[in-house]
Structure 1
Amino acid sequence: MLSRSLVLAAASLLAITAAQPALAEHHEEAAEVAASTAGSAEIGPWGIDLEARNLDVDPGDDFYQHAGGTWMEETEMPGDRSRYGSFDILRERAEQQVHAILNDLAANPEAAGPTGQMVGDFYGAWMDEDAIEARGTAPLEPYMARIDAIEDRAGLLEVFGSVGYASPVGVGTLPDPANPTRYIAAAGQDGLGMPNRDYYLEEGEEYDAFRAAYRDYIIQLHELAGLPDGEGRADRIIALETQLAESQWEPARQRDIQQIYNPMNREQLAELAPQFDWPNWLDGMGFASIDTVVAAETTAITAAGELIDSVPLDTWKEYLTFHFISDYAPYLPEDFDEARFNFFGRTLRDTPEQRERWKRGVALVNNHIGEAIGQVYVDRHYPAESQRQMDELIVNLRAALQERIENSDWMDEPTRAEALSKLAAFEPRIGHPENWIDYSGLEVRRDDLLGNVIRAQQFDFDLDLERLPHPVDRSLWAMNPQTVNAYYNPLLNQITFPAAILQPPFFDPNADPAVNYGAIGGVIGHEIGHGFDDQGRQFDGTGRIRDWWSEETAAAFEERSGRLGTQYGAFEPIEGVNVNGALTMGENIGDLGGLEMAYSAYRRYVAEHGEPPVIDGLTGDQRFFLSWAQVWRGLIRENALRERLLTDPHSPAEYRTNGVVPNIDAWYEAFDVGPDNAMYIPPEQRVKIW
């Protein structure tokens, strides 16, 4: 499978996303609107959890704690969570909604037709724990036999290129950044067992403990599988992965589209890493018609090729064996499943409890045949009114950003014209796909859980291969309708908001408009803003990578974004581990620009409908900013936070509030924040980009 680096840099998927607005066409005066919605919102009387606030904390000293401190102090994190907040609460709601659908289909799959039976059988295979225990390790045998049969480098490459097996380099497809109307193949670094290179290379007691626990985990899996020499194999596998880690790129560098967009023909690939025998390897994977491949982390690919020659074949086979068992441990007997959770959950993320099996089953089916469930989900849980109000909100946000671009004092006219052209071409997609994936070619068996997972992965890969010769299908979605998230794809200049996120606390048609603008409005603005962040700005309105910036305006952007990176780089949530301002740059720009955009859109709404009344002692502007802060309230365990700081392009939740609002003048006015407050930034030092 394709290394996610190029896709993430190109598609800016939001790991925990959006909030939601309700913008019905109000024709009443603002006071009448407030009165009509009072008492009818799902959260609090008008959409804000007033009890969540910690009023002992001045908003100018710690706005995150002021808005949600009492909730965070009184809320106990569920034992099966490594982090818990507003997004997780809504995800639990969507999970329950999908669970009801799955129970219906699993109980009577034949009555639901072929697709319903497929969904019911997939979920039923997962839930039949007795059958999984009875089969033991037998499901592994054909896959282990394939690894055992490897006799030379050609055989090794064949397995590397097969769906379901680990590889130091992954290959897949995506729209070509140079011509996003066509698909192209791409290759990038891959193959580590721990989250990224830092877990192998960083010094310190914490990382020594992670590496020791990883070794124990490898040994334990060998013992469970009845494989000999677990300790020796563990040492050789870790040594191999450490060598891979030493050459792999750090996450911040992987975000840089200019560094990772390296199109190469087969002759150039042969020079880059001849050990991969690119013509035969690509042809064997199904890329026979492809001559050009985008090589992402070039030096890491070269180093991986060198390791193919220098590392003994038997060690590579041990590596493949361990990774296959580890990757598919959840679909094996309980001891395998528990061993994997013990390392990745308890050790790496401090999560004390495994999630209930039905919840993991929901995630499994969502991940592999999600659109089959999505059709039923939309029918049950996505009212037409949500679509209408979202459309209206996006119109206001687009108008707000257009006005901000037109009035920007740091852009020259040619660059401004290009930015406005890109905004005009921007395409929002709300709720669900227009066309659904046809899963009729996928075989799902009630008695073959592991096989179902592998076949589903192969089905997805084959779909990508089928699309490869054709023009890019702009109607495809990268998320299911039942997903609580959102994303921006710069290659298509699209934002996508699935149906499931259009529910409280992010969107409530009965909430105060200020709340909806501050919540979902800010998140929609965030997604639109990705088109103009440090990476998204390098794509034009057609999705093509093109430098449309004048030298002077680009320098002004980089100066401003550089100051924002410095602000975030000073945050130190764990002693000795700071926020990586370069890694999180795009998301931080998205948060800042998105909230500014949403505030401008809200003021446009106020200009049309009149200044809103004070409700429960809070002005409309105060309600707007509190809504944004409550979107990001949450709890996180220390090692989960550590992993996020090392690997995630999103800043921790606290700084998605406290890193943003001190740069927005209206926040100071709303809460009377002055120089004596801890979060105060002098006006001339506040960062303003969009």
Structure 2
Amino acid sequence: MKRSILAAMLLATTASGVALWQAPALAQAVMGTKSGVDKSLIDQNAKPGDDFNAYANGTWLKTAEIPADRSSIGVGLDVFKVAEARNADIIKGAAESKAKPGTDLRRIADYYDAYNDTAAIEARGIAPLKPILAPIAALKTKAQLSAMLGANMRADTDPFNNNNYASTDNLFGLFVGQDLNKPTINAPYLMQGGVGMPDRDYYLSDKKEMAELRDGYKDYLEKVFTLAGMSDPKARASRVFALETKIAQAQTDIVTAQDAHKGDNPWTRADFAKKAPGIDWNAYWSAAGLPKQQNFIVWNPETTTKLAGLVASEPMQSWQDWLAFHRVNEVAAALPKAFDDAKFDFFGKQMTGTPAQQPRDKRSIGAVNGALGYEVGKIYAAKYFPASSKAAIQTMVKNIVAAFDKRIAALDWMAPATKAEARKKLSVLKVGVGYPDTWPMRPYYAVSATDPAGNLLRARLSNYRYQIGKLAKTPDRGEWWMTPQTVNAVNLPLQNALNFPAAILNTPYFDPTFDPAANYGAIGAVIGHEISHSFDNLGSDFDSTGRLHNWWTKTDLARFEASGKALIDQYNKYEVLPGLYANGQQELGENIADTAGLTASYEAYHASLGGKPAPVIDGLTGDQRFFLAFAQSWRTKMRDRAIRARIATDVHALAPLRVETVRNLDAWYDAFGVKPGDKRYLAPGDRVHVW
């Protein structure tokens, strides 16, 4: 995404620096002539202007059944299944190979075999827990506790793309990335954690559904201690729940945690003892592998202070029980079936309403990808992502970037200085398509075909060591945060970069046989969405270098925030279940990206036509195919419990509401004859454009 006000060209690049766009003229992606719209999904009895999702996907919605082992069904699952089958082919092929010990293929095979050998797991019983639980039982002092908390810390995801908080199994998590204020160095970000349920509101909300989940969680806690053969499991469960409730009370809420300005809190090593007494921080950081690190960014400073206070004030027995539970919970899938089932009964059945656990062999594939994702990803990219698809996506990226730049250039409300920085930011955006050009090199760790629990723990430790190893290096703006076989995409504000993994670049999101209208409506909207994240309510806080910096005039910022407020109000009115509404503030960044991204992709589609009229295919105009492809790319059906969990913890709107993004585009009204009186009709002045 790119455009400098000082130059007449865009310099969008891949992670390797290959120029994607070097002149104002748009290139043509090589695409086919198929409609790309599945007309069998359309409910002709539904009115597009009343509920576009019901119109575009209504016939499917009436008959689709969610599989027993899933909390939802839809396009995302369809594409995931393709990737899953390919991953299975790679991993099972490795398991059948004669690869030498220590090679990537052998490690993939051994990880898979260990996880999938349930007979051996049952035979071992709780023996794998003994070396994990013994050091916890031996704790005597708070200094020893501090050291164990530090040793247990693991790497967390990018806070700017995390749906709520950081670590759950550990009191804190660490993210390593470009310093908010110093683009030339990496910094460690300390993130809040400590609770077993997904969000603080699960502990604190007075809603009936949350109270029921709290009861279920208490039962699960007791079950874990019982299965682990520990004494007085009910009392231990009670202590853990009481401690986690206090941790939840100390945590920062999900909306506040998204604010980078509130997360920008540089602390020196000495500051921890002064500002967060209660933890022996020297012992903590030494055990965490950072004995000499002097500078940190504390994302949740008040929470950090309160959590340290709890380490000091709460009884050692409570902390030992808390540690024991989380260590067992962490490796439950590698323990006998009773542990695995108990965890699914709560987190699957009760939390999301999913009746049945996925088959073990499929979960084995997921486990390998979680532990050896890039080792599998190298094979996946080489085998399943042709150069022609990469070139087509790069062309689409170039065109959508150009459309976004054109919109910025034409804004009549933005001051020249603000506009210049916005276009500069676009001009240096890095775009990775399919797979990284430089593969991450995680520290080697041994994989045993007879130690699934140990494999899991060693994999997480390896990733943590890789992350803290970046502290001595210059930030890599081409670094990837997703494997090629991941069905997703991401914007990385600190790197001013995007990742589009190979697995999402598949039909129906992208299909080289589809007419451009469908590809721009589906994957183009995803591309536009990720580009737009650089200019949402979070991304707009970062300048072209990834530095947290206010590059707006006061008037421009007020105008931008007013548009955001209008979008918040629009989404707050959506009732997703009786009495349960969308949270427009919590979802603001994603909704801005949906609106701006769909607009940019629509304009890029029209520009790609080169002034020629779009063909009518299967009785549908180009604009109709564009909007229907967009709507059908979000085709989803979800269980009620999963909906409630998403509203509580996710920064994304539910899929049916993402379809309704079309309400803010003038062209949609013309394409489907939407008129005043239709339920989704918005007067022109009420349509939110943001960018």
TM-score class, shorter-chain normalisation, is: over 0.9
Q: Give the Cα separation in 2 of the matches to 1:484 and 1:436.
A: 18
Whether the 8 Å CA contact 1:24–1:392 is kept in 2: the answer is yes
Higher helix share: 1
Matching of residues 515-530 of structure 1 within 5 Å: 515-530=518-533
State how far apart, in whole Å, the 2-side matches of 1:277 and 1:215 are: 30
In structure 2, give the amino acid aligned to 1:586: G
2:65 matched residue in structure 1: 76
CA distance in 2, matches of 1:455, 1:204: 39
Counterpart CA distance in 1 for 2:28 and 2:177 is 39
Q: Report the equivalent of 1:177.
A: 180
Amino acid at match of 1:189: Q
1:80 and 1:353 in contact (8 A); partners too: yes
Distance, in Å, in 1 between the alignment partners of 2:358 and 2:103 is 30
Percent identical among aligned pairs is: 39
Which stretch shows the higher mean deviation, 458-467 or 425-434?
A: 458-467
**Does the residue aligned with 1:90 lie in a helix, a strand or coil?**
helix
1:397 Cα deviation from its structure 2 partner:
0.5
Pick closer, same or farther for the CA change 1:109–1:243 going to 2, 3 Å.
Answer: farther
Alpha carbons 1:163, 1:457 under 8 Å: kept: no
The letter for the 2-side match of 1:134 is: A
Corresponding residue for residue 368 of structure 1? 371
Larger mean CA deviation between 525-534 and 268-277 belongs to: 268-277
Gaps of 5+ in 1: 1-22, 28-32, 39-45
For 1:647, the aligned partner's letter is: T
Contact 2:28/2:608 (<8 A) preserved: no
Question: Which residue identity does 1:149 align to in structure 2?
Answer: A
Q: Which residue of 2 aligns with 1:685?
A: 686
2:56 aligned residue:
67
Counterparts of 1:174 and 1:163 in 2: how far apart (Å)?
A: 20
Task: Tell me the residue number matched to 1:189.
Answer: 192
Distance 2:445 2:641 in 1: 38
1:105 aligns with 2:94: yes
Q: Which residue of 2 aligns with 1:353?
A: 356
Instruction: Give the match for residue 245 of structure 1.
Output: 248
Which of residues 574, 579, 603 in structure 1 aligns to 2:577?
574
Shift in alpha-carbon separation, 1:663–1:440, aligned structure 2, 3 A: closer
Q: Aligned residue for 1:92?
A: 81
1 CA distance for matches of 2:540 and 2:53? 29
In structure 1, C-alpha distance between the alignment counterparts of 2:465 and 2:631, rounded to whole Å: 43
Paired residue for 2:41, among 35, 49, 52?
A: 52
Question: Contact between 2:101 and 2:107, CA under 8 Å: does it hold in 1?
Answer: no
Alignment match, 1:557: 560
State the partner residue of 2:628.
626
Deviation, 1:162, is 1.8
- Correspondence 1:105-504 to 2 at 5 A: 105-110=94-99, 114-163=103-152, 166-438=169-441, 441-504=444-507
Contact 2:529 2:598 in 1 (8 A): yes
Distance 2:490 2:458 in 1: 27
Q: Give 2:22's aligned residue.
A: none
1:656 maps to 2:645: no
1:417 and 1:37 mapped to 2: Cα distance?
39
Report the CA distance between 1:171 and its aligned residue: 3.1
Amino acid in structure 1 at the alignment position of 2:578: E
Q: Is the 8 A contact 1:421 1:541 kept in 2?
A: yes
Q: Paired residue for 2:616, among 596, 614, 617?
A: 614
How far off its partner does 1:112 sit? 9.6
* Deviation digits for residues 228-276 of structure 1 (CA, Å, limit 9, x no counterpart): 1111111111111111111211111110101111111123222221112
Judged with a 3 Å threshold, the aligned counterparts in structure 2 of structure 1 residues 385 and 291 are, in CA distance, closer, same or farther, namely same
Query: Aligned partners of 1:153, 1:85: CA distance in 2, in Å?
Result: 49
The residue type paired with residue 154 of structure 1 is: A
- Alpha-carbon displacement from aligned partner over 1:140-176 (angstroms, at most 9, x marks no partner): 1101011111111111111111237843233342221
User: Runs of 4 or more off by more than 4 Å in structure 1?
Assistant: none
Partners of 2:466 and 2:66 in 1: how far apart?
A: 39
Aligned partner letter, 2:205: E
User: What CA distance in whole angstroms lies between the structure 2 residues aligned with 1:66 and 1:411?
Assistant: 37
Name the TM-score, length of structure 1 as normaliser.
0.92
Contact 1:109 1:121 in 2 (8 A): no
Following superposition, the deviation at residue 600 of structure 1 comes to 0.7
Contact 2:279 2:309 in 1 (8 A): no
Q: Which residue of 1 aligns with 2:163?
A: none
Q: CA deviation at 1:24?
A: 8.2
CA contact (8 A) 1:164 1:454 kept: no
The question of 1:676 aligning with 2:677 is answered yes
Q: 1:305 to 1:167 in 2, by over 3 A?
A: same
User: 108-117 or 247-256, which moves further after superposition?
Assistant: 108-117
Cα offsets for 1:346-382 (capped at 9, x unmatched): 0000000101111111111111111111111112101
Cα distance in 2 for residues equivalent to 1:455 and 1:112: 17
Q: Deviation at 1:279?
A: 3.0
Q: Secondary structure at the match of 1:530?
A: helix
Structure 1 residue 278: Cα displacement: 2.3
CA contact (8 A) 1:115 1:440 kept: no
Distance 2:614 2:301 in 1: 55
Are the aligned partners of 2:380 and 2:485 in contact in 1 as well (CA < 8 Å)?
Answer: yes
Structure 2 contact 532–597 (Cα < 8 Å) conserved? yes
Give the aligned residue type for 1:387: K
Tell me, what secondary structure is at the counterpart of 1:488?
strand
Residue of structure 1 equivalent to 2:33: 37
Residue 588 of structure 2 corresponds to 585
Q: Secondary structure at the match of 2:28?
A: coil
Structure 2's unaligned 5+ residue stretches are 1-25, 155-168
CA contact (8 A) 2:266 2:298 kept: yes
Amino acid at match of 2:197: M
Deviation for aligned residue 1:470: 1.2
The Cα shift of 1:327 comes to 1.9
Q: Deviations over 1:186-238 (max 9, x none)?
A: 11210101111111111132122111111111111111111111111111111
Shift of 1:457: 0.8
What one-letter code is carried by the residue in structure 1 that aligns with 2:674? V
Whole-angstrom CA distance in 2 between matches of 1:494 and 1:518: 22
What SS does the aligned partner of 2:185 have? strand
Q: Secondary structure at the match of 2:406?
A: helix
Residues 527-564 of structure 1: CA deviation (Å, up to 9, x unaligned):
00000000100101111111110111000000111110
Measured in 1, the distance between the counterparts of 2:542 and 2:183 equals 10
Q: Is the 1:24–1:389 contact (alpha carbons within 8 Å) kept by the matching residues of 2?
A: no
**TM-score, with structure 2 as normaliser:** 0.92
**What CA deviation, in whole Å up to 9, does each residue of 1:612-670 have, x standing for no partner?**
12222211001000011011110111111111101101011111011x11111111111
Q: Give the distance between the partners of 2:534 and 2:82, measured in 1 at CA.
A: 30
Q: Does 1:542 align with 2:545?
A: yes
Answer whether contact 1:164 1:457 (CA < 8 A) is retained: no
